[in-house]
Chain A
Amino acid sequence: MSIDRIGNLFSGLSRRDLLKASTALGVSFLLPTLSARAAEKRGNERAKSFITLWMNGGPSQLETWDPHPGTAIGGPTQEISTTFSGVNIAADYPMMAEQLQHLSLIRSLVSKEGDHERGTYFMKTGYRPDPTVIHPSIGALIPHQLETKGLEVPPYVSLGDGQWPGRGGYLGDQFDAFRVFEPGRSVQNMRARVGEKRQTDRLEGLDILAKSFRKGRQYQSEKSLHQDTVERALTMMSSDQLKAFEIEDEPESIRNKYGDSRFGRGCLVARRLIETGVRVVEVTLNGFDSHASNFEAHTNRAADLDKAFAMLVQELRDRDLYDSTIVLCIGEFGRTPKINPLDGRDHWPNGFSTLIGGGGLRSGVLIGETDPTGMATDPKDPVKVQDLYATILNQFAIDPGEELMTPIGRPLYICEGTPLMQLLDA
């Protein structure tokens, strides 16, 4: 086999060829891990996955899933009826109104964090910020606890330019979400900068340098995971699974239905990643921090969110992936019932909304209720995010009560909540 052929690492060389070439050369960096193709199973047989649609900035519950039109706090937002009997949502979401019967709605999430960064930390980890430890996000815990064998792309992916993507925390940086800033356009740094032959030469040079550095440093080198990360990066660069990040081969009609926005493309890529075997995906939609012109801002956001979210649920169902995929739409907090002089709403962590569905959870469940007058601070049936996450972990057969050890030997529960029985099948 010629060396030119060997170098075809980065333009879709078959795995078999690559293995042959690597073995012949003895180049350890060229050797990908042996793995089966991504899971192609459907329905209940399929391993569970989790998609979070992260509404960055704190969406107003009153302009999304908990409108109160005609009241002092309702503003100009109108409501529409939905396929979820007895539940109306903001009129900006006609497509979601069609899909709502497949989801459950919590209108009474509560938190004690009214700051964006702290609120995001709490809502992504289920723990309040603590200077002594960085907790992993729920998205990092799932691949930490579950098998990801055969997966050549990261098991936890964050799509879009989110300010605080999920972190591995005390589990280690290797569990951080893999970030893709422009989903559907390109995955940054994934292609080699030079042609095949030169790349092979470069890798051979790197191999020699790595070997000479390991001399006398075997133990420390292995602990550093440097070679491991380079190998995993090279495996990823040459993996067929990388195509899951691309949307060019999707029919134009499908792409249009998701919408040609960063978020729309993100939701389409999320579906493709889940299909490929990625366990956790986070798609960020920015722009909800509406201290001024709240209603205009939310109408603009709804233009992206409505079609992409609805299409995602629709497609997961059509492809028989919905029973194995939990979809959660959530932000760091809600917004005040009171409308401020700038026609805006401020931060409100007391009674805000989230939609959750799929993954074997019950649909058509409504939990909680907020005061239409805005006088009562606390909602009815308040729900803590810890309980929400315990519910999700339950679907993955992960025991929230299990203790993990931090690097300094401090035992911490995976999650401090208990599952919401209303959402679990009897």
Chain B
Amino acid sequence: MVLSISETDKPFFKVSPVANYQILKILHTIEFAQMRWKSIAVYLPVTAVVLGLLLIVFSTAFPPVHARVDDSEQYQEIAEFASSVAQVNQWFRNDWKEANLSQAKKAEEPIVLRRLSLALHGTIPSLEELRRFESDERPDRLQQWCREMLEDPRFADYFAERITRAFVGTQGEPFLVFRRDRFRNWIVEQLNQNRPYNQVVQEIISQTGLWTGEPATNFMTHAVLNGNVDENKLAGKTVRAVLGQRIDCAQCHDHPFADWKQQDFEGLAAYFGQVRLSAFGVEDRKNQDYKVEDGITLEERTVQPEVPFQENLLPDSGTRREQLAIWSTHPDNRRFSRAAVNRIWALMFGKAFSEGAPYYARVDDLPDPEVGEGTGTALDLLSESFVASNYNIKQLIETIAALEVYRLDSTSHEIDDTVVKRQIDHWAVFPLIRLRPEQVVGSMLQATSIKTIDQNSHLLTRTFKLINENDFLKEYGDFGADELDERAGTVPQALLRMNGNLFEESTKPNPFNATPRIALASGSPEQILDTCFLTCLTRLPSQEEKDFFMNKWEDDKSRRWPQRTHDLYWALINSPEFSWNH
């Protein structure tokens, strides 16, 4: 609407023509403003809603970059373990040289970030995190990000479940006396405090009291069978979880391969022979004998507690369990630190450090440590560093994350399969490891949300995550206590990824899912493609991939962008790259 001001307009007041003109001008301005105001009053709410929505969509699709990385000097101890990293790197270099193997090229840093995120938080990085990482220009940004991830509450929460599985598995029984949730939450606290790992293990082995008030005692009560503590189960589990070896065969007969004798097993089981449950919880009855039925004479005989090696490490006093706790975590008991390092290694890489074992590696099947100068492996070097750091779990994780082997690519330039196999055995190429179920579901949910899903996420988001996780795990299958064993994929898992509810619910075009928002907010088809690849695979598309999808979209214009994005997501999430750590 155009308002004109002319000399013929009737004056309201008898004043000079100039003044009159000025007054009219003001009145016209007011009138103009009133009319415009009416229009604004009608359109403003609609415009505001549209602008607001657009703003939200843009801000979530392309969140502003905030430097959350703490640049303070509180983490100056990097230098302390830099020499450990160098030593272990050198060990691998020597090993490759001796085996006449070349190593893979360095992996792209975002791919290493993906490995770290999967290992420490159980998900792939969010788009939000990737954008921040891209903008971080510090040369040691991976090291810094590893530290930040360790301080994120998601680390303790995720890692606690892994450690809980090592000690008490996934069982929910025996009902009443075993509280797995208490044990797990207690581990979360220990990780948050970064309590020395040897102290944590000592408490797990020797704690007394109620399973509710003293959560570490749940290690004892998880072995309760028909009201009694199963000493055999505790002995076997302790050797596996704490010493990284398997003695269980020796329960019935001498171990067929290793040096373990049946007598060793009984002697260890006797350390748990005084454990009883009472109204006060777990306690040790000092005058109680541990008796077993002799396999040959079928008569009952008393067994004295006895450790299978290094008796000199046993303390002079304490309950039987306290003595076992000190012995098994003693700095000179190398099995303990080697087992701890191997477990963390397995959680970081997805498979245990095999030390060249001729069969596939298990996290609790380590050979005896070698004795003698210069016989130590990378595992021994890391173990020594772990002991020197006062059993600092977070520092151990940082050290492994900084190793050259952790940052190698998973592709090999070698053509001969036998050479590639040797490269894998010698860690000269990063291993391809199937993601565990909780990593698959965590990654699926993260890929379909632009913002990071963490404790700060909306309650609805977290509830959706929890419900979907449980349903998905039921169908996908939970690996339980053996989650670090190497496995191949199954048909039901492929069907679940392709046609299951979780993918459909979290990717179909609706205002809560990332797919339509990416389609709406991205400026061009190239940007849509880039964003989807980053969100799902933590990388940009190759030229070949870009050509393929761009041509496809160009050829078929019948579909809308949310549908195209939905289909692209399907292909990305079902690709091997998505469900394998690489």
- Which A residues fall within an 8 A CB radius of B? 114-115, 117, 130-132, 134, 154, 172-174, 176, 178-179, 188-194, 198, 201-206, 208-210, 212-213, 215-221, 223-227, 229-230, 232-233, 236-237, 407-410
- Contact of A224 with B411 in the complex, beta carbons under 8 Å: no
Please judge, given known A-B contacts A206-B574, A407-B359, whether A220 and B432 are in contact too, CB under 8 Å: yes
Q: What 0/1 readout, one digit per residue, does chain B (162-197) give for beta carbons within 8 Å of chain A?
A: 000000000101000000000000000000000000
- Which B residues fall within an 8 A CB radius of A? 171, 173, 225-226, 233, 236-237, 240, 246, 248-249, 256, 358-360, 362, 365, 409-413, 417, 420-421, 424, 431-432, 434, 475, 477, 482, 485, 487-496, 498-500, 503-504, 542, 544-545, 548-549, 552, 556, 563, 567-568, 570-572, 574-577, 579-580, 582
B277 to chain A, nearest CB (A): 17
Write out the residue numbers on chain B whose beta carbons fall within 8 Å of the beta carbon of A237.
495, 499
Please judge, given known A-B contacts A174-B488, A229-B489, whether A220 and B410 are in contact too, CB under 8 Å: yes
Q: State in angstroms the CA–CA spacing of A201 and B413 once bound together.
A: 31
B240 to chain A, nearest CB (A): 7
Q: State in angstroms the CA–CA spacing of A231 and B225 once bound together.
A: 45
- Contact of A190 with B499 in the complex, beta carbons under 8 Å: yes
Q: State in angstroms the CA–CA spacing of A179 and B579 once bound together.
A: 22
B291 to chain A, nearest CB (A): 19
Provide 29 A-B residue pairs closer than 8 Å at the C-beta atoms, listed in order of the A residue. Answer: A130-B248, A131-B237, A132-B246, A178-B491, A189-B475, A189-B495, A189-B499, A198-B563, A198-B567, A201-B556, A204-B552, A205-B549, A208-B548, A208-B549, A209-B575, A212-B542, A213-B582, A215-B411, A216-B411, A217-B411, A219-B417, A219-B421, A224-B432, A227-B576, A229-B489, A230-B498, A232-B494, A408-B360, A409-B358
Write out the residue numbers on chain A whose beta carbons fall within 8 Å of the beta carbon of B432.
217, 220-221, 223-224
Write out the residue numbers on chain B whose beta carbons fall within 8 Å of the beta carbon of A216.
409-413
- Contact of B571 with A209 in the complex, beta carbons under 8 Å: yes
Q: Chain B interface mostly helix, strand, loop or mixed?
A: helix
Write out the residue numbers on chain B whose beta carbons fall within 8 Å of the beta carbon of A198.
563, 567
B405 to chain A, nearest CB (A): 16
Residue in chain B with minimal CB distance to A170: B485
Write out the residue numbers on chain B whose beta carbons fall within 8 Å of the beta carbon of A173.
477, 487-490
Q: State in angstroms the CA–CA spacing of A402 and B450 once bound together.
A: 54
Write out the residue numbers on chain B whose beta carbons fall within 8 Å of the beta carbon of A226.
434, 489, 576, 579-580
Write out the residue numbers on chain A whose beta carbons fall within 8 Å of the beta carbon of B487.
172-173
Write out the residue numbers on chain A whose beta carbons fall within 8 Å of the beta carbon of B233.
131
A23 to chain B, nearest CB (A): 20
Residue in chain B with minimal CB distance to A207: B571
Please judge, given known A-B contacts A189-B495, A212-B544, whether A132 and B249 are in contact too, CB under 8 Å: yes
Write out the residue numbers on chain B whose beta carbons fall within 8 Å of the beta carbon of A409.
358-359
- Contact of B434 with A224 in the complex, beta carbons under 8 Å: yes
A286 to chain B, nearest CB (A): 16
- Contact of A220 with B475 in the complex, beta carbons under 8 Å: no
Write out the residue numbers on chain B whose beta carbons fall within 8 Å of the beta carbon of A189.
475, 492, 495-496, 498-500
Write out the residue numbers on chain A whose beta carbons fall within 8 Å of the beta carbon of B482.
134
Q: State in angstroms the CA–CA spacing of A236 and B47 once bound together.
A: 52
Residue in chain B with minimal CB distance to A201: B567
B490 to chain A, nearest CB (A): 5
A212 to chain B, nearest CB (A): 6
- Contact of B575 with A232 in the complex, beta carbons under 8 Å: no
- Contact of A220 with B577 in the complex, beta carbons under 8 Å: no
Instruction: Point out the residue from A130, A201, A213 that lies within 8 Å of B552, measured CB to CB.
Output: A201
Instruction: Point out the residue from A154, A174, A202, A215 that lies within 8 Å of B567, measured CB to CB.
Output: A202
B341 to chain A, nearest CB (A): 21
B171 to chain A, nearest CB (A): 8
Sample of 18 further A-B pairs with CB below 8 A, known A209-B545, A215-B411: A114-B226, A132-B246, A173-B490, A178-B491, A194-B567, A206-B571, A206-B575, A208-B544, A217-B411, A217-B412, A217-B582, A219-B417, A226-B579, A227-B576, A229-B489, A229-B490, A407-B360, A408-B362
Residue in chain B with minimal CB distance to A198: B567
- Contact of A232 with B491 in the complex, beta carbons under 8 Å: yes
- Contact of B411 with A131 in the complex, beta carbons under 8 Å: no
Please judge, given known A-B contacts A202-B567, A230-B494, A232-B491, whether A176 and B576 are in contact too, CB under 8 Å: no
Q: Which of A176, A206, A217, A236 has the most CB of B within 10 A?
A: A217
- Contact of B575 with A213 in the complex, beta carbons under 8 Å: yes
Write out the residue numbers on chain A whose beta carbons fall within 8 Å of the beta carbon of B563.
198
Please judge, given known A-B contacts A132-B248, A189-B499, A210-B575, whether A229 and B494 are in contact too, CB under 8 Å: yes
Write out the residue numbers on chain B whose beta carbons fall within 8 Å of the beta carbon of A130.
248
Write out the residue numbers on chain B whose beta carbons fall within 8 Å of the beta carbon of A230.
494, 498, 574
Q: State in angstroms the CA–CA spacing of A236 and B493 once bound together.
A: 13
- Contact of A205 with B498 in the complex, beta carbons under 8 Å: no
Q: Which of A194, A205, A237 has the most CB of B within 10 A?
A: A205
- Contact of B575 with A172 in the complex, beta carbons under 8 Å: no
Q: State in angstroms the CA–CA spacing of A221 and B362 once bound together.
A: 21
B314 to chain A, nearest CB (A): 26
- Contact of B495 with A131 in the complex, beta carbons under 8 Å: no
A132 to chain B, nearest CB (A): 5
Residue in chain B with minimal CB distance to A407: B360
Write out the residue numbers on chain B whose beta carbons fall within 8 Å of the beta carbon of A191.
499
Q: State in angstroms the CA–CA spacing of A407 and B488 once bound together.
A: 13
A210 to chain B, nearest CB (A): 6
Write out the residue numbers on chain A whose beta carbons fall within 8 Å of the beta carbon of B576.
209-210, 213, 221, 224, 226-227
- Contact of A192 with B498 in the complex, beta carbons under 8 Å: yes
Q: State in angstroms the CA–CA spacing of A206 and B572 once bound together.
A: 7
Instruction: Point out the residue from B413, B491, B582 that lies within 8 Å of A233, measured CB to CB.
Output: B491
B97 to chain A, nearest CB (A): 22
Q: State in angstroms the CA–CA spacing of A403 and B475 once bound together.
A: 32
Instruction: Point out the residue from B359, B545, B582 that lies within 8 Å of A408, measured CB to CB.
Output: B359
Please judge, given known A-B contacts A132-B249, A220-B432, whether A172 and B488 are in contact too, CB under 8 Å: yes
Q: State in angstroms the CA–CA spacing of A210 and B494 once bound together.
A: 14
Q: State in angstroms the CA–CA spacing of A332 and B570 once bound together.
A: 42
Residue in chain A with minimal CB distance to B486: A407
Q: State in angstroms the CA–CA spacing of A188 and B579 once bound together.
A: 21
A405 to chain B, nearest CB (A): 9
Please judge, given known A-B contacts A173-B477, A226-B579, A408-B365, whether A131 and B236 are in contact too, CB under 8 Å: yes
- Contact of B236 with A219 in the complex, beta carbons under 8 Å: no
Residue in chain B with minimal CB distance to A176: B490
- Contact of B488 with A225 in the complex, beta carbons under 8 Å: yes
Q: State in angstroms the CA–CA spacing of A174 and B491 once bound together.
A: 7
